[in-house]
Structure 1
Amino acid sequence: MSGAPTRVYIARLAGIAVFDPRGDQVGKVRDIVVALRHGSNAPRVLGLVVEVQPRRRIFCPMTRVTNVTEGAVVTTGLLNMRRFEQRAGETLVLSELFDKRVTLLETGEQVTVQDVGIRQERTRDWSVEKIFVRKGGSGFRRRGETVVVEWSALSGLTLPDPEQGVVSLLATVEKLRAADLANVLQELTPKRRFELAAALDDEKLADVLEELPEDDRVEIVAALEGERAADVLEEMDPADAADLLSELPPETAEAILSLVEPEDAEDLRRLLSYDDYTAGGMMTPEPVILPPDSTVAEALARIRDQDLSPALAAQVYVVRAPFETPTGKYLGVAHFQRLLREPPSSLVSAVLDDALEPIGPDAPLSQVTRYFATYNLVAIPVVDENDHLLGAITVDDVIDHMLPENWRDADNDPDAATDDEEEVTHGA
């Protein structure tokens, strides 16, 4: 860039696209790395944390940035695809400075950091120039006056804040999908990770926990207050909730289960009775279940539920009463494509695929995977010895169990780094 110095506020950079010189998107901005300096010298901006596929965070030095706007970042040259690791003396602005309580030197008043403005000098170096702060108030109902001040007008930016909030950080990540938000949580310090997780609503946190590695989700759930942990568990897919409970210390798991709604707790205890790598351990006890006198219109209305995964919405299971798992006698499955071809007033019992054999709860993973591959299925019914429907296994449940336990960690992806990457050192 050339001409007049440029100033950009960092909150507006969060999540924007990063492009290479050819105009191809490289990834998205997830944070900004700065180096704090002694005295009143403003921090130097070292570079950007950029998320590339598959959910890997890399470092893009500011020396590689040719243009920064509120809509895009353009870089030049190749980037090192090695996973970003924060170094001593480096600070992540979005993760660590937003919501931090600091002191206005002139008045001694406590204020909260809302945003940070960075500026490119004529030397082409970038530094922190302005801090947007809010006076008074705290939490989600802050009403204090907002002001923009120089970095040098504040103290405490380099000190830990034991009561740091997450309102501004939450605003930058609230629109992320669960898998991407889980990746953000993994990159935070343990303190900030728990603060952000605790601030998410139950449904969002449940979705995020399903995407986190075992150690991280156990750490978060174990730190939650009992009632909150139970509420979040009830929002999770039952199979994922059972997996999480099995990873907790037995006394912790039992304490949480005792606070879960009795009907949900019964489902979870039943899932916990099966080995993880069996049909019973992988199934969900909440597929779409209908009585035989239901119409095609009723079946289509049920699978339109936006909370259903595509695999669960692909078919309807028809049974005799009772209609909660374990159900009465299993009669067959109605595939959604067949339902779409039938008159709405037709009965689902007339369009059943009764040739699809269900599987038993003790069937091992190897048998389940062969079944999916042989018949090109997206879900399989699971029944007991008396033909009572216990649940259904979806193809995504099977894939989760076939991958290594640490598959969510991008560092274990052998294709993540390429031979033609250029070596660059952040912080240099």
Structure 2
Amino acid sequence: MSAAPTRVFIARLAGIAVFDPAGDQVGRVRDVVVALRLAPRPPRVLGLVVEVTSRRAVFLPITRVTVIEADAIIFDGRLNMRRFQKRESETLVIAEMLDRTIRFRDSGEPVSVVDVAMEPTRTRDWLVVKVAVSRRTGRALRKRGESLVVDWDAVEGFSAVEHGQGAAGLIAAFGQMKAADLANIVHELPAKRRTELAVALDDERLADVLEELPEDDQVEILGQLGVDRAADVLEAMGPDDAADLLGELPTEQREQLLTLMEPHEAAPVRRLLTYPDESAGGLMTTDPVVVPPDATVAEALALIRRPDLNPALAAQVYVCRPPSATPTGQYLGTVHFQKLLREPPPTLVSGIVDTELDPLRPTMSLEAVAMFLATYNLVAAAVVDENGHLLGSVTIDDVLDHLLPEDWRENVMDAAAEVTADPEEEVLRGTT
């Protein structure tokens, strides 16, 4: 292996770009696969899990990696696009080894795994030879940042099943990922680690991830949280996503969670649950960008610049008389962001409002909503009741979510190309 360092700490590889010999990026590192062996023999590194197009994870044998740098990995150009599936004899370093509680072999002192390091051998193999650990008293660190690097054979306990492992290392490794990418990782984690990661994430981050997961995963994770924590996470989700998730739960459990939610957070979710799933009312979000008629273009632009705002929701503002919370006062019309960009900042939105298109009604079917958006080239549209009050807006992403097959998220996450077996990979992964 050329141009490779003599020691690589594996957690630092998470998210690093992977390039072919021509310099084209093919994906990013998600994890490293190792084979544990009988003590004191160090684990053998088998390869990398690389996330490529369509969020598919594939296996890259370590023997095909030619360069490992701080910000890039280069391989020889041969990559089997068959979806990676972990075998019983294999261990994922980041997903399964970080945060474990192990013990010093001599003293029995418990320590927590922060990272592990691999080094190349003269035979072009890579072995995990070092472990970075933090000392603990029970579950708490004695001193913030107190850690040390020890030889692999100085510790034991990697093979034992541990309950309550924690997930600080996982969060550190994958913390900068987009919610959709982290959801893909969560989907593929073993059930135990999936729960531990969910428990460790803060409410906002977990809510974002849940919104990107298949319904079965959402229900499973929510069920592993205490009811108080589950209610907090539901409050952090968009009302439409929270309603969709609650709609999958038994009536008694759903009502318990709604009762535990703050009343002002539960109210819009309850309203959404009264509409059929595949209607404009069932599809809409109750948190569109609403401005009063005396708001200026500058004020409207400031609202849609919020970084946490869904791009489809940021594509327009809805002009309504007070109150501005849904159901609002009288709905006056819509102003699209392109119109806002063309007008002077002091201009009042009431002077440039678009009133030509009739809004959606909450009882309109999914098909009717889809045709409306397609006909007028829109990414979102207002939903207004018979008295002219804005109830919410339907965005194109929610329409697509319902038009696609029910298992489309699983198909995206589990998609596998029909690719012939890779002999080199089979030999490498079949030998421990």
TM-score if structure 2 supplies the norm length? Answer: 0.93
Kindly state the Cα deviation for residue 4 of structure 1 after the two structures are TM-superposed. 9.3
Structure 1 equivalent of residue 312 of structure 2:
311
| Structure 1 residues 255 and 27: CA distance shift in structure 2, 3 A | same
Aligned to 1:167: 168
Identify the residue that residue 209 of structure 1 maps to in structure 2.
Answer: 210
Aligned CA distance change for structure 1 residues 382 and 140 (closer, same or farther; 3 Å) = farther
How far apart, CA to CA, are the structure 2 residues paired with 1:176 and 1:265?
29
| Residues 24-423 of structure 1 aligned to structure 2 (within 5 Å) | 24-137=24-137, 143=143, 145-410=146-411, 417=417
Contact kept? 1:178, 1:207, Cα under 8 Å: yes
Distance 2:299 2:9 in 1: 51
Amino acid at match of 2:191: P
Q: Quick one: percent identity of the two aligned structures? A: 57
Encode CA deviations 1:147-179: one digit per residue, 9 max, x unaligned: 222211112111112232211221101111101
SS state at 2:29 partner: strand
Question: Could you say if the C-alpha distance between residues 2 and 317 of structure 1 is closer, same or farther in structure 2, counting changes exceeding 3 Å?
Answer: closer
Give the AA of the match of 2:26.
Answer: V
2:12 maps to 1:12: yes
Query: 1:427 is matched by which residue type in structure 2?
Result: R
Quote the offset at 1:127 in angstroms: 1.1
User: In 2, Cα distance between the equivalents of 1:98 and 1:352?
Assistant: 54
Amino acid paired to 2:222: V
Distance 1:194 1:85, change over 3 A: same
Matched residue SS, 1:409: helix
Aligned to 1:21: 21
Unpaired runs of 5+ residues, structure 1, are none
| Aligned-residue CA RMSD (Å) | 2.1
CA contact (8 A) 1:130 1:151 kept: yes
1:11, 1:324 → 2: CA distance? Answer: 45
8 Å CA contact 2:55–2:413 kept in 1: the answer is no
How many residue pairs are counted as aligned between the two chains? 427
Q: Distance in 1 between matches of 2:348 and 2:260?
A: 40
The 3 A distance-change label for structure 1 pair 280 and 101 is: same
CA positional deviation for 1:219: 0.7
Q: How has the CA–CA distance of structure 1 residues 147 and 299 changed in structure 2, closer, same or farther, with 3 Å as cutoff?
A: closer
SS at match of 2:187: helix
Kept after mapping to 2: 8 A contact 1:6/1:121:
no
Contact conserved, 1:288 with 1:302, CA < 8 A, in 2?
yes
CA contact (8 A) 1:8 1:70 kept: no
Deviation at 1:342, TM superposition (A): 2.4
Residue 396 of structure 1 deviates from its aligned partner by 1.3
- Which residue identity lines up with residue 31 of structure 1 in the other structure? D
Report deviation, 1:369. Answer: 0.8
Return the offset for 1:382: 0.7
Cα gap change, 1:9 to 1:330, in 2 (>3 Å): same
- Per-residue CA deviation, residues 346-374 of structure 1 (Å, 9 max, x unaligned), is 32111111101101111111111111111
For the 8 Å contact 1:29–1:50, the answer to whether it is kept is yes
- Alpha-carbon distance in 2 for matches of 1:11, 1:101: 17
The answer to whether the Cα contact below 8 Å between 2:134 and 2:141 also exists between their aligned partners in 1 is no
Whether the 8 Å contact between 2:323 and 2:329 is mirrored in structure 1 is yes
Q: Is the 8 A contact 2:111 2:135 kept in 1?
A: yes
Matched residue type, 1:102: I
Structure 2 distance, partners of 1:142, 1:166, is 18
C-alpha displacement of 1:402: 1.4
Query: Deviation digits for residues 17-38 of structure 1, max 9, x if unmatched?
Result: 1111222111111111111112
Secondary structure of residue in 2 paired with 1:134: strand
Tell me how far apart the structure 1 counterparts of residues 336 and 322 of structure 2 sit (CA, whole Å): 21
Distance 2:413 2:57 in 1: 13
String of CA shifts for 1:66-117, please: whole Å, max 9, x gaps.
2222222211242221211111111111111111111111222111111111
Q: Which amino acid aligns with 1:362?
A: T
Amino acid at match of 1:380: A
Evaluate the alpha carbon distance shift between residue 206 and residue 141 of structure 1 in structure 2; reply closer, same or farther with a 3 A threshold: farther
